[in-house]
Amino acid sequence: MSHRIITISREFGSGGRTVGRMAAEKLGIPCYDQELIDRISAETGLMKPYVEEKSENIEGGWLSFMAGRDFYGHSMQDDLFLAQSKVIRELAEKGSCILVGRCSDYILKDFDNVLTVFIHASMDKRAERIVNQYGERAEDPFARLRDKDKKRKAYYQLYTDREWGAMGNYHLALDSGILGLERCADIIVSLY
């Protein structure tokens, strides 16, 4: 494959989605984030808000894991993961792009034209961001961050059997709170 793919995994509130868009714009390639939701929704017939929430978050714990599973232990979320894997692979085969979240780093692990990036930031910086930029309630944004971190981590571990945020899975990991979003995008562009 002569084209190149960049996957961006990110902590909630780190601005990783914005970094992806900035880098894609600078490179003149598509960035799939919301469009990923649209395509997975079209593929599965599931509503977009359900896809958005369930394509990278899961409640932790054994009871939640079992809820909604059939006799064979299979759930609607498993189908969703298969559908999102298919959509992500098709996009990666089609041409150069940036893919944000949804285990794309893992789904494309056997592709040799992929740069895997992880964007993270301190709790303080992320709390500031989710209140000021995402419009989250200002009361205890830390609880919201801890909840989202827990759900993304549980989801990632369930479907990839890898540890969420483990350095070894990423070619490049950047602290957006220290480096700034623009500089993160520039580093990604320089490696393309």
Pair 31, 24: CB distance under 8 Å: yes
Q: 112 in helix, strand or coil?
A: coil
Strand partners of residue 32: 99
Residue 173 sits at the vertex; the CA angle it makes with 15 and 176, to the nearest 5 degrees, is 30
Is the CB of 25 or the CB of 163 nearer to a copy of itself?
A: 163
First-to-last alpha carbon distance for the chain, in angstroms, is 14
Residue 160 has a CB neighbour count (10 Å cut-off) of 16
Which region among 19-27, 55-63, 78-86, 180-188 touches a copy of itself (by CB under 8 A)? 180-188
**Size of residue set near a copy of itself by CB under 8 A:** 21
Is the CB of 94 or the CB of 183 nearer to a copy of itself?
A: 183
Which region among 28-36, 67-75, 132-140, 172-180 touches a copy of itself (by CB under 8 A)? 172-180
Q: Does 76 bind a copy of itself (CB under 8 A)?
A: no
Residue 41, both tokens: 């929704």
Q: Name the site residues for a copy of itself (rule: CB under 8 A).
A: 115, 118, 120, 122, 165-168, 170-175, 178-179, 183, 186-187, 190-191
